[in-house]
Chains A and B, each alone.
Chain A
């Protein structure tokens, strides 16, 4: 079925309400990006989400939107607590998959000659790839504590500093986590995967702050041109995958008993007021907390490895957490609806929270700047740091994009890489990569992604977040 798009301005396209859609769709994009959406099914998915009960405002898509399962990736939707739903597929299997950016005091040019050595050390010391286990093997009580305490558990157990919690979204802990809501399978899968990076699009990247666009905010964030930074992308591992799977299957079986008709079975959901939704949210919070603990441990392993490899002290390295944001989550948040503050369940599926200056959920030091928004690109170009802007609260339930967004399937990417050495091509650009999987580098090659600069420009121009700085990769560890 053809999805009609009405251009509202150069950065907004509306999908008018038709059929079973309860609200219109709104796609943030740009004239240079919009045409690529017509070739996959992501716009259909925006329309499908608009059919879900209790959706308010509009079914939203960020400029990095691409075809996912159920929700599009880059999709944002908010639901009223009385008539609305929560959908595990609208959060995704990798619950609280997210990014964490650390700044350092180290001049990147001083470590550039040793990037190969650093990447090799990180590849050795940070567990990556399919089937790896982490440095922490959790007993049942500790796993429950991780699920409830999140990043604070990691800090309490020696993986980082209290300061890190202040600079993590929601201080690295989601309230309402209840380990009793977890299946035996989820508990089992969570036991040995804490402190592991994973594979696919997860990565650990050494970067240099390449260009600053907003000196004041960059200074607040600790971003200075020429300095070394580290970006980590990982999530809740098999623990989160299992929780999503468990509840999706339960909701698939019960959705008709709630009187809900679905355009796509993967959108299975439960009314927010139901016991099933409450149990899911309690289990989802466990996974969100597990993911924050995971990234906290990964940061600690990274810090120790870099210090040991370069033979420098923690003071010399000066590694500080700039911020940690999640991409896949459903949260009860207060947003203005019809002129009144209203509690809504905001689903972000491959999207980032982007709070404007002055928001009460921000740490004191970011009150004037707005929330740091971390947008990784592909491993051959750039990543960006933005700051949340008032437009996000007005138009996108405080959300913006989460990355560049894929344009090639993995199979297409492998085909495009045939006869080429992507490793060599990246090395020629001064980027050293190590990966566990044989196909990973091909599947994740730069051409597989949209031009992140165009995506970032679209959210900047739309007023959802403002560009602060650009970072360039020097070394990449992949699963």
Chain B
């Protein structure tokens, strides 16, 4: 469990890759925490100015597919566009679609420390559960 004010997630043992369990008090918070947990695993950001808003729109076949694609979008922003998602606000969430506004910094190799090379968010073991109003997602990241 993260204990320095970051998003609530736990790493779970997976022999070759990285398992991660993410929590939220609503499905929307779960998705927001998932994005921030991924950033937390990717990079330790240095000091930056005001982050810029960046609209995100993701569609999936069902909630689990949507979560995999949503996190894949955050990963692509870092790996493909060199942008760090510092914060995110989900405006619309349905079972197969998200509209959100992320707040992003440009990645600066002199300031920001990359932590893990994450190749992809996989579907292996991917799942979302809800117990007494608490939401939890399990994902395996290819590292």
Residues on A close to B: CB < 8 A? 40, 42, 66-70, 73, 89, 92-94, 129-132, 185, 188-189, 198-200, 238, 241-242, 244-245, 248-249, 252-253, 264-266, 268, 406-412, 437-439, 479
| Interchain CB contact under 8 A, A129 and B114 | yes
Q: How many B residues, CB 8 Å from partner?
A: 33
Whole-angstrom CA separation of A213 from B59 in the bound complex: 56
| Interchain CB contact under 8 A, A253 and B116 | no
| Interchain CB contact under 8 A, A409 and B61 | no
Chain A residues near B122 (CB, 8 Å)? 69-70, 89, 266
Whole-angstrom CA separation of A49 from B131 in the bound complex: 32
Whole-angstrom CA separation of A188 from B113 in the bound complex: 22
**Known contacts being A252-B61, A412-B13, is A185 close to B80, with CB within 8 Å?**
yes
Whole-angstrom CA separation of A40 from B14 in the bound complex: 8
| Interchain CB contact under 8 A, A266 and B117 | no
Interface 1/0s, chain B 131-143, versus A by CB < 8 A?
Answer: 0000000001011
| Interchain CB contact under 8 A, A185 and B143 | no
A-B contact pairs, 8 of them (CB 8 A): A69-B123, A89-B124, A93-B142, A198-B117, A245-B120, A252-B61, A252-B65, A265-B124
Chain A residues near B143 (CB, 8 Å)? 200, 410
| Interchain CB contact under 8 A, B120 and A244 | yes
Whole-angstrom CA separation of A439 from B109 in the bound complex: 17
Q: Which of B42-64 contact A (CB under 8 A)?
A: 61, 64
Whole-angstrom CA separation of A412 from B120 in the bound complex: 21
| Interchain CB contact under 8 A, A40 and B15 | yes
| Interchain CB contact under 8 A, B16 and A266 | no
Q: Which of B11-68 contact A (CB under 8 A)?
A: 11, 13-18, 61, 64-65
Q: Which of B15, B18, B64, B123 contacts A268 (CB 8 A)?
A: B123
Chain A residues near B140 (CB, 8 Å)? 69
Which partner residue on chain A sits nearest B126 by CB separation? Answer: A265
Chain A residues near B87 (CB, 8 Å)? none
**Known contacts being A129-B114, A241-B79, A252-B65, is A410 close to B123, with CB within 8 Å?**
no
**Known contacts being A198-B117, A245-B120, is A66 close to B80, with CB within 8 Å?**
no
Q: Which of A67, A189, A199, A411 contacts B11 (CB 8 A)?
A: A411
| Interchain CB contact under 8 A, A437 and B15 | no
| Interchain CB contact under 8 A, B120 and A238 | no
Which partner residue on chain A sits nearest B19 by CB separation? Answer: A409
Q: Which of B82, B117, B142 contacts A69 (CB 8 A)?
A: B142
Residue with the greatest number of chain A CB neighbours at <10 A, chosen from B80, B109, B123: B123
Interface 1/0s, chain B 86-121, versus A by CB < 8 A?
Answer: 000000000000000000000101000111110110
List of 9 A-B pairs having minimum Cβ-Cβ separation, nearest first: A130-B114, A69-B124, A265-B123, A266-B124, A409-B13, A93-B119, A69-B122, A67-B15, A199-B117
Whole-angstrom CA separation of A268 from B126 in the bound complex: 14
The A/B interface has a contact count, at CB < 8 Å, of: 100
Q: Which of B61, B107, B114, B123 contacts A264 (CB 8 A)?
A: B123
4 new A-B contacts at CB < 8 Å, known A131-B114, A200-B143: A93-B119, A93-B120, A198-B117, A265-B64
Residues on B close to A: CB < 8 A? 11, 13-18, 61, 64-65, 69, 72, 76, 79-80, 82, 107, 109, 113-117, 119-120, 122-126, 140, 142-143
Whole-angstrom CA separation of A455 from B48 in the bound complex: 48
| Interchain CB contact under 8 A, A407 and B15 | yes
| Interchain CB contact under 8 A, A264 and B14 | no
Whole-angstrom CA separation of A87 from B64 in the bound complex: 20
CB distance from B99 to the nearest CB of A (A): 19
Which partner residue on chain B sits nearest A71 by CB separation? Answer: B124
Chain A residues near B109 (CB, 8 Å)? 131-132
| Interchain CB contact under 8 A, A66 and B79 | no
Chain A residues near B116 (CB, 8 Å)? 130, 437
| Interchain CB contact under 8 A, B117 and A479 | yes
CB distance from B93 to the nearest CB of A (A): 19
**Known contacts being A264-B124, A265-B126, is A241 close to B14, with CB within 8 Å?**
no
| Interchain CB contact under 8 A, A242 and B80 | yes
Whole-angstrom CA separation of A360 from B72 in the bound complex: 42
| Interchain CB contact under 8 A, A189 and B79 | yes
**Known contacts being A130-B116, A131-B109, A200-B117, is A68 close to B16, with CB within 8 Å?**
yes
Chain B residues near A188 (CB, 8 Å)? 80
| Interchain CB contact under 8 A, A406 and B80 | no
Which partner residue on chain B sits nearest A133 by CB separation? Answer: B109
**Known contacts being A69-B142, A407-B15, A411-B13, is A437 close to B115, with CB within 8 Å?**
yes
| Interchain CB contact under 8 A, A67 and B117 | no
Whole-angstrom CA separation of A229 from B118 in the bound complex: 30
| Interchain CB contact under 8 A, B119 and A131 | no
Whole-angstrom CA separation of A40 from B15 in the bound complex: 8
Which partner residue on chain A sits nearest B44 by CB separation? Answer: A438
| Interchain CB contact under 8 A, A94 and B17 | no
**Known contacts being A409-B15, A479-B117, is A70 close to B124, with CB within 8 Å?**
yes
